[in-house]
Amino acid sequence: MRSPCEIVLALDVPSRVEAEAFLDRIGPNLKWVKIGLQLFVREGPALLDVVARRGHRIFLDLKLHDIPHTVASAIRSLRDRPCELLTVHAAGGPEMLRQAVMAAAETSPNLRLLAVTVLTSLDAQALVATGVPATPASQVERLAALALDTGIPGLVCSPEELPALRARFGPTPLLVTPGIRPPGSDPGDQKRSLTPAAAAAAGADLLVVGRPLLQAADPRAALAALHATLHGACNS
């Protein structure tokens, strides 16, 4: 049986000062923090230590996509950093993914890679513009199969693809889902989104939530409401 899904805060703020201030506001009941390109480029790897010392687990969302040697070297550069999840692009191809898996195993026994399939900001029209004639759903499954075959243990996908991925690949892959929007919230630039309860019911393990928490008047209360929603979904 899979564990209940959990909330991941997408800490998309400009600086360490703002990051720490927000973590103070949201309180101690937040387990996972996702650090993306904006904050990582500004503050560097030392920020991972800062966030981890506050008691949070680290999801580093760099979406690495380069030649195999460069991606593997970047992963090895994270040695001794408290990073548990790291994203790479499945579209980087099988050799890049295989070398990423080997580098992660050498770097840390706690580091798990997540393959990004199709960004949740992309729809069918956007895929066609990049030269991919497939639908988002079929492209997600194609890239997911490629990543899992190379030893990547988890996937990043939109909520809409969750049922198909669970049906095809079973309970083992860790499925991480951005594009989560509570009922009534602005979808922003997310083209393929679901509510937390719907995503949990569809098979997500981790739900990435950014603006609905970052822009909340009371982030602590907003997080508590999300937790209550997930608890209700798991017990319904």
DSSP type of residue 159: G
Please pick, among 31, 34, 63, 191, the residue that the annotation labels catalytic: 63
Placement of tokens 């900001």 in the chain: 121
Catalytic residue flag (residue 63): yes
Distance CA 21, CA 1 (A): 37
Alpha-carbon distances, residue 42 vs 37, 47, 132 (angstroms):
8, 10, 33
Give CA–CA dist 70/171, Å, rounded: 32
DSSP 128-151: HHTT--S-HHHHHHHHHHHHHHTT
Q: Are 54 and 35 in contact (CB under 8 A)?
A: no
- Of 206, 180, 218, nearest to 22 (Cα)? 218
Which residue numbers are catalytic? 63
